[in-house]
Structure formats: C-alpha cells, structure tokens
Amino acid sequence: MRFRFAHVFTQPSGHGALSSRKLLMTLFLLASAAGTAFPYDPHYMVVASDGSGDFRTVTQAIDALPMFNYERVVIFIRNGVYNEKIRITQDYVTLRGESRDSTIIEYNQLRTDWISHKDYIGPAVVNIHADDVILEDLTVENTQPQVGPHAFAVYGTGTRTILLNCNVFSKGGDTVSLWNYKGGMYYHANCSFKGAVDYVCPRGWCFIKDSKFYELKSRTASLWHAGGFGKSQKLVVENSSFDGVNGFELGRHHYEAQFYLLDCSFSEAMADTPIYRVTYKDPEKNRPFNWGERDFYYGCHREGGDFEWFADNLKSAPGAPTPSAITPAWTFDNKWNPESAIGPKVLKYVLQGSSVLMSFSEPITVIGKPVLVSRDGTKLLYDSGAGSDTIRFDSSVPLSKGSLVGLSVEGGGRLTGTIASIHQRNVNLNVGA
C-alpha cells in the first residue's frame, strides 16, 4: 500500500496525548482498514487490487467521493479482476482502466435474483445513477452462466453517459441498459457488446460508432430502443459490425422507436427479419404506436448477400439527412456533443478592483492552483469557484479590461470542462476584451 503524507504530524506531549510516532501509526492503521492511501489526489484516484494504489477496490474509491461531486474525478483502475458490483451516484466520474482486456470488473447477478433479494447497489455489475459518467478502457462482465435471462452488465438512469473502448459482456439479456427515458443521452465508441435478447437497449437518445455486436441466442434481437417520450429520440449505429449465432435478429421495440444504421456490416448468420414491433394479444399491454416504423439505413451490407429491408432509405427519414449530417450532435438535437474538443468559453466577466469573476458556459474543473497571465504580464491567481460556472481570480494590482487580453494558464494548474467528453477540453480564455 502506498502512503503519501503531505505533512509531518506532531502532537503536544502530556496526559492522554499521542506521540508523533503513535499518531502516524494510528493514521496508518485507519488507512489500512479503509484500504486507502492517505491523503489522495481528489481529482485522480488509483485503484489496485495488490494495494499499490490509493484503494484496493473500485467501491472504496467511489465511497471516498463527496456526496455531491462538482468536478471531474478520474478513478484509474490498474489491471486485475475486480469481483464487485458498484453503484455510482456522484456526477462527473470517470472509470478508466489500465487496459481494455485486462482491467475487468465482473460479478454474477441475475436480475430475478436481485428482485428477490434487493440490495442498495442495484441489479447490474455497474449501476449508474448520475450524470456525465465515463467508462473507458476496461471490461464490465456479468458472469452469470445462463443464456437468455435478464442479466445487466451496465444499468443506468443518468444522462450524458459515455462508454469508450470498452468490452461490455453478459450471457443474458439487456447487457447495456441505460434507461433515462426522458433525457437520457448516451455515446459509445470502439466498444464490443455481447449478450442475448435486446442486449443493447437504450431509452432516449443513443449514438454508437466503430463497435462490435455479438448475439448469443437465436431468434432474438440484438438492438432495442424506446423513444416514446419525444419524437426526436433515436438510436444511431454507425460503422459497426453485427455477428452471432445462426438466426440472430437485428432489432425490435415495444415502445415508439427510431433506428438509424449507417455503414454497418452483418454476418451471414443474421436472420432475414426486419426490425419489428413486439405486440401482445392483450391490447392493454401494448404501448402507444402513433409514429409508425422508423427504421433507416445507409450503406449497410451482409455477408452472403443483402436483404431488401435494409436497402438505403435515408432520404425518407425526417428532414432527409445526408450521411455526413448524422453526427453525435445531430443525434442529441445539439444538446450535447461528446466529440467536440472545444473547451468552455467565457460568457461574461465582472471586474471588482483587483479581482475578476469569470462566468463560463459550463461548470469548471480546477486542477492545482492555476495562474492566468495576460499579454501585459498581469498575473491572476485562482481564488475560488471550482465545480461551478463562475470562477474568481485575484491579482496584486487593480484590474482593467486590458488586464484580461491574451490570457494563458501557467503555474502548472489547469481549467477544464466538466461535462462528459471524449477529450480533455481546456477553457477558452478569450474574454472579448
């Protein structure tokens, strides 16, 4: 276990007082019991099962977060197998593995077993009840052995969730179940998904690219979508491949839904079954279906020959979008662009003598103690505001508009955007002065 004490602790002598040596030993025992190095960087935590990091388990790292988390926190997970279920309730958390195939979070959990014996953590291996959560460079696997029954690997009710360069596996159904039906927006890239029965089944808006899908059960669908809360909700899959056991189906839905598949490849094992709506003999069980089938394709092909139902028909989609127009930002109705590298910009500023309040276009994560240096050499020291959209900087001299021209960040600190993105987005300090 690695300890990083920032100061030498001393304690006055006297009756009942601890010596410095005893105090250090007490802190060591407390940290050992908690499985954490002390103190740790609140923006970057390291998990290692062998004790070489700040925490031994992912759960311990998450438990160390504040109840309300306002800044981006990266939990770096070293290679190993972590047999645990985790629950994320704090916003702005990134779980980043050391390597995709060797950093593994796994657990055996049938959904029916969880319903019978509910715990607080949830029915999946990774349970996300927060916004702006990122999982990258790791494997999440539900290890229950049955093919078919509901067995979530990732379940969530937050929005702006990113899965990047991940394996997400289950032998059961609903492997990836992100179910914020009102405002859920999800971005997945360069991932591998495996499961049985609707194993990628988003509610809301979802964009998936450069990924692989594998269906373990015949005559069941790989994709499922629910988009009944708003007519623009959609599932877009781009430049991805679909494979599985012989007779696997591409997709289905129970609710209103909208599918876009662009430049996707299908194996010969895929059944000649278009995306379809599931209905029941009892009409009271059927969901509203007022907008009709909305399944759109462009540039998709199947080994062994194409089926007529996935011929190009993008021109018949609402607004007749071109393939190049179908981007993540378009998918999310321009409410979120996870591929943008543009950092938060200054919306306004207020000069207060030798201080300035800068209001940004999103909450700001502050790393270290950044110093802003203007073109005329004026230095502005970070004072407060981390985790909000308004940051205060102080100077040793009275400030004017000219003091804010040509600002750059120095001093080893950083100011970055906090909303989920595949890029680190440093702030744009052009204040328009």
Domain boundaries, the chain: 61-67+76-331, 346-417
Query: What is residue 134's three-state secondary structure?
Result: strand
The SS3 of residue 289 is coil
pLDDT reported for residue 37: 42
Q: What CATH code would you report for 61-67+76-331?
A: 2.160.20.10
pLDDT at 39: 61
Whether 199 shows a pLDDT value over 60: the answer reads yes
Q: Inform me whether the pLDDT recorded for 200 exceeds 60.
A: yes
* Residues 162 and 128: beta-carbon distance below 8 Å: no
pLDDT tens for residues 23-62?
434 443 444 444 444 467 889 999 999 999 999 999 999 9
Residue 13 has pLDDT above 90, yes or no: no
CA dihedral 30, 35, 37, 43 (to 10 degrees): -120
Provide the pLDDT for residue 333: 98
């990732």: which residue's tokens?
154
Backbone angles phi, psi at 118, to 5 degrees: -65, 140
Q: Is the pLDDT of residue 358 over 60?
A: yes
Interatomic CA distance for residues 365 and 392, integer angstroms: 13
The mean pLDDT of 353-376, rounded to a whole number, is 97
Q: What is the pLDDT of residues 84-123, one digit of tens each?
A: 999 999 999 999 999 999 999 999 999 999 999 999 999 9
- Of 179, 172, 138, 123, the closest CA to residue 156 belongs to 179
15 pLDDT more than 90? no
C-alpha 414: how far from its chain's center?
Answer: 22
Tens digits of residue pLDDT in 395-410: 999 999 999 999 999 9
**Distance between CA atoms of 65 and 90, rounded to whole angstroms?**
8
In angstroms, the CA 297 to CA 374 distance is: 51
- As a CATH number, domain 346-417 is 2.40.10
Report d(CA 53, CA 45) in Å as an integer: 8
